[in-house]
C-alpha cells in the first residue's frame, strides 16, 4: 500500500474552513505574541514526532520519518527562538493548545484505527499550519522575516503529505479517504469555533 494515490494527498490541501482575514490582521497587530506561540508550536511538533516513533517502534519507515521530522521541527524551534531573542523576547511557558486538544478527541480506540487517526490528524494539523504560515508570509513586508515564513510554509507542505503517505503503508486507500474526509469536517468545525488571536491555532 506504500505510495498512496496522489488524489488522497490532494484532499488534505482542501481544508474545509478558510482562515479569515481577521486572523492574519490579529497576527500582524501582535507579531511578538505570534512568534512566542510559533516557537511553542514547533517544540510541541517535535515532541509529537518523538511520541509517534516511541509508540510504534516496530514500524521502521514511520520511525525513520518521525526521527527526521522531530529534528526538522526542533531546528525550526531553534530558529524561532533566535528570532525571539533578537527582538528582546523569550520563549513562553508550555500551555495547552485548545485546537490540538479538541482534535485529539476524535481519536478512536483500537490499535489500528488509533494509528490511522493519529496519522491523519497529524497531516491535517500540518496542513493548517501550512495554510496559516503561508498567510503570514504573504502579509509580511519583503525581508528576512518574510523569507523565513516562506521557508516554513514550504516545509509544512511536505509534512502534511508525509503523514498521509505513511498511512498508505498500513491502510487501504478507500479507508484512508473515508476517514480523512470525516476528520476534515471535524477540523473545520473546531477551527471555526476558535477565537481570533495572535496564535497559530
Given a cut of 90, is residue 159 above it in pLDDT? no
Predicted confidence at residue 160, as pLDDT, reads 84
Give CA–CA dist 52/162, Å, rounded. Answer: 13
Tell me if 162 is assigned to some domain. yes
Tell me if 96 is assigned to some domain. no
Given a cut of 60, is residue 13 above it in pLDDT? no
Tell me if 20 is assigned to some domain. yes
Tell me if 137 is assigned to some domain. yes
Task: Supply the CATH number for residue 184's domain.
Answer: 1.20.1260.10
Give CA–CA dist 32/22, Å, rounded. Answer: 17
Q: Shortest CA distance to 98 belongs to which of 194, 197, 30?
A: 194
Tell me if 201 is assigned to some domain. no
Tell me if 48 is assigned to some domain. yes
**Residue ranges making up the domain that contains 155:** 6-91+104-193
Tell me if 178 is assigned to some domain. yes
Given a cut of 60, is residue 41 above it in pLDDT? yes
- Residue 146, all three cell numbers: 518574510
Tell me if 169 is assigned to some domain. yes
Look at the chain and report how many structural domains it folds into.
1
pLDDT tens for 66-118 read 999 999 999 999 999 999 999 999 998 888 899 999 999 999 999 999 999 99
Give CA–CA dist 136/149, Å, rounded. Answer: 7
Amino acid at each position: 500500500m506504500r505510495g498512496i494515490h496522489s488524489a488522497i494527498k490532494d484532499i488534505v490541501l482542501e481544508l474545509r474552513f478558510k482562515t479569515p482575514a481577521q486572523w492574519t490582521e490579529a497576527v500582524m497587530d501582535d507579531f511578538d505574541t505570534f512568534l512566542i506561540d510559533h516557537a511553542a508550536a514547533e517544540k510541541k511538533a517535535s515532541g509529537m514526532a518523538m511520541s509517534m516513533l516511541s509508540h510504534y517502534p516496530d514500524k521502521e519507515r514511520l520511525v525513520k520519518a518521525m526521527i527526521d521530522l522531530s529534528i526538522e521541527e526542533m531546528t525550526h524551534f531553534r530558529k524561532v527562538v533566535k528570532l525571539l531573542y533578537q527582538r528582546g523576547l523569550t520563549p513562553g511557558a508550555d500551555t495547552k493548545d485548545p485546537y490540538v486538544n479538541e482534535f485529539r478527541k476524535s481519536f478512536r480506540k483500537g490499535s489500528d484505527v488509533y494509528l490511522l487517526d493519529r496519522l491523519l490528524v497529524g497531516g491535517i494539523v500540518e496542513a493548517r499550519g501550512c495554510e496559516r504560515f503561508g498567510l503570514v508570509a504573504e502579509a509580511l513586508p519583503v525581508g528576512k522575516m518574510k523569507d523565513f515564513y516562506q521557508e516554513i510554509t514550504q516545509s509544512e507542505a511536505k509534512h502534511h503529505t508525509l503523514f498521509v503517505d505513511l498511512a498508505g503503508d498500513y491502510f487501504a486507500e478507500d479507508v484512508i479517504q473515508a476517514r480523512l474526509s470525516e476528520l476534515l469536517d471535524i477540523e473545520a468545525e473546531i477551527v471555526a469555533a476558535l477565537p481570533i488571536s495572535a496564535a497559530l491555532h
